[in-house]
Amino acid sequence: MIAAVSRKRPHVLKQSRAKLWIRTAILIIFGTIFTIALYGDITSGKFNYSWALSAFLPCLVIGFWMRRWVPMHIHIASKLITFSFDKIYFSLILFLVIIKVISERIQGLTFWDDVIMCVILGLMIGRLCGICLRVRKLKVKHNFLPQKSEKENAL
């Protein structure tokens, strides 16, 4: 999505920095839970590292590509970038988590449970990295970054 430009100052809670930290915290929580579960299945022989990578890496790329769907707004007056709730991504992750919970409960679907965990982690990590890079690019483009002092430039 194309970033919209606004002259109005946004509400403090809608700033991109806060939303990025919230997304990072959610990723850390899911990542920790899923990594522990994956590690247990890999060490017990139920799952394999190569299967994990073959599910994770394509979803990492897809998640990075999904950064384009995040509606971003540039606020020139306050030098802030905000972004709105992405319903498509939220629906996809919610659907995958529900499918993961169902597959976890059914005997014999451990493989698919682990694949879904790798897919979710790939999408979340790829998208978060993509959003961070996109925000950085917009800040550079609109000169929102703090200017370095002469002392810092000399170092």
Tell me what pLDDT residue 13 has.
45
C-alpha dihedral, 34 to 117 to 54 to 130, nearest 10°: -90
Q: What is the residue type of 120?
A: I
Residue in the structure block whose two tokens are 């409960």: 105
The Cα–Cα gap between 144 and 139 comes to 5
Chain Cα centroid distance, residue 33: 16
Reply yes or no on whether the pLDDT at 82 is more than 60: yes
**Is the separation of the CB atoms in 121 and 56 below 8 Å?**
yes
**Is the separation of the CB atoms in 30 and 121 below 8 Å?**
yes
Mean pLDDT of all residues belonging to the chain: 83
Helix 110-141 / helix 16-44 crossing angle, nearest 10 deg: 150
The Cα–Cα gap between 147 and 39 comes to 45
Q: pLDDT by residue (tens digit) across 7-57?
A: 665 555 455 667 778 888 888 998 899 889 899 988 998 889 899 999 999
